[in-house]
Structure 1
């Protein structure tokens, strides 16, 4: 039997789980818009992650953690995610989304003093740097970085990290393929592109769109994770939009010395084809 030591690449240096757009809304019941069972869907995904033999270093959540930004919803999300993270020995990286509230986000998820300043942070996993940048504009659904944030980000990236940097943000710097999404896209992309060009950023992780997609921005690969709550029906006519309670999932992020690989993993389900072939014990 072949093992990873026999492969062309071997094991990755880092492994993360990327989850987005959980949209907890406990004040509206257990189903968002009466359909999407946000807690049940995320619970299924986390159960599958916990059942894996391979352990991620962190669970990365790229925004829209709640639908209305209420304390009750943040608390429900925290109470579901934190025990899983503790059991598997993973950190939790929370990013703000346009549906989130900075004050409640800070006090409940980050356990810091509540205030309305942007929620930007830096984490280190060995020589790999992960920057979480708050792309939200309070009171609006589009994304944009302030001049102060761009200055901060430029200073953070001024010195390269030994293994490079992953940038986590909610609004992805990618083209819109739904006309209805133009009003909520990331603005000021030219300024951000100029800032990121030539830096050590190896990948941008984002959400917001409720479907998985990939692009490049300033020469940097961009990976957009789908929503764990509900997804977009991309067969809807160009001028419209429609959410669907199907195809939820998360992304695996494997970081190798020379590449970052993003794998879309759908919600567990479906019948086994053939038979289960067990792997060797790790």
Structure 2
């Protein structure tokens, strides 16, 4: 259903829920014996499920299973498959350094071939091309774009998509203030930048860092989703790498005709400070511009409970 536009910008053409670093373990075991990754994924799933009718894709950008176990992948699917069905969103899985290619393919992509080559995919979402790129290195945690992957990506991007392209990979090509994470950064970034040059790539989505952040690479916006497993504490003492049991989030990516906007969504149940429901919005939509300003913009006394 179309609704009246209340401001300068139209509704987004595509909306993506961007999750990352779920790190589930077999049997739903706690990560490190402490972090309840299953509950955090369930909480995020419940929040995403509220967006029925307003979501086009759910993208999980790697480290889906902490040890690449089949059961862990099945648990992630059990949490997100119903959400995708309820919202009508396409599920997109991206390889991370904790993932293992054969079980990733077998459980998440229904591919029992045992193929150990990079898991690279192209998904079309109503004209928006999403390219999932495998940056994992078997046996290691740093990232690299293998020559065959770069050649494949170059061929994919040779023809523009109707609504442009989003590239998703686990090891986001972005600077981090965490010194140790530099050891685990993406290799062959110069070659990657060359492949992206003068193409229709509108944004790069990534994970790996365990905190939400944004930047640019080769002139392209980069958005890194926070982790659902645990969060890196950027306020920890210098030269320390500290993961904390809190601060979890996912991102929403709104793709407009001429812009891409990313927003961070905290995961959890929190008390409301203010709330305006659907009925109030409908009342505002029914007014002319002057009436809308009077109804919602005019300053009024803030009433407190004391």
Shorter chain as denominator, the TM-score bin is: over 0.9
TM-superposed deviation, 1:266: 0.5
Question: In the alignment, what sits opposite 2:165?
Answer: 165
Question: In the alignment, what sits opposite 2:288?
Answer: none
**Larger RCO, structures 1/2 (Cα 8 Å, 6+ apart):** 1
1:83 aligns with 2:75: no
Distance in 2 between the 1:272 and 1:10 partners?
A: 28
TM-score by length of 2: 0.88
Question: In the alignment, what sits opposite 1:269?
Answer: 269
Distance in 1 between the 2:55 and 2:4 partners?
A: 17
Mapping for residues 204-223 of structure 1, pairs under 5 Å: 204-223=204-223
Mapping for residues 1-282 of structure 1, pairs under 5 Å: 4-27=4-27, 29-112=28-111, 113-274=113-274, 276-280=275-279
- Contact kept? 1:225, 1:251, Cα under 8 Å: yes
Distance in 2 between the 1:4 and 1:30 partners?
A: 48
Equivalent residue of 2:278, what SS? coil
- Contact kept? 1:20, 1:227, Cα under 8 Å: yes
Aligned Cα root-mean-square deviation (Å): 1.4
TM-superposed deviation, 1:52: 3.0
Distance in 1 between the 2:237 and 2:187 partners?
A: 24
Distance in 2 between the 1:174 and 1:14 partners?
A: 24
Ranges in structure 2 where 5+ consecutive residues have no aligned partner: 283-306
- Contact kept? 1:230, 1:243, Cα under 8 Å: yes
TM-superposed deviation, 1:132: 0.4
TM-superposed deviation, 1:42: 0.9
TM-score by length of 1: 0.95
TM-superposed deviation, 1:4: 4.9
TM-superposed deviation, 1:53: 4.8
Equivalent residue of 1:130, what SS? strand
- Contact kept? 1:55, 1:88, Cα under 8 Å: yes
Ranges in structure 1 where 5+ consecutive residues have no aligned partner: none
Bigger Rg, which one: 2
Equivalent residue of 2:209, what SS? coil
- Contact kept? 1:18, 1:225, Cα under 8 Å: yes
Distance in 2 between the 1:25 and 1:175 partners?
A: 29
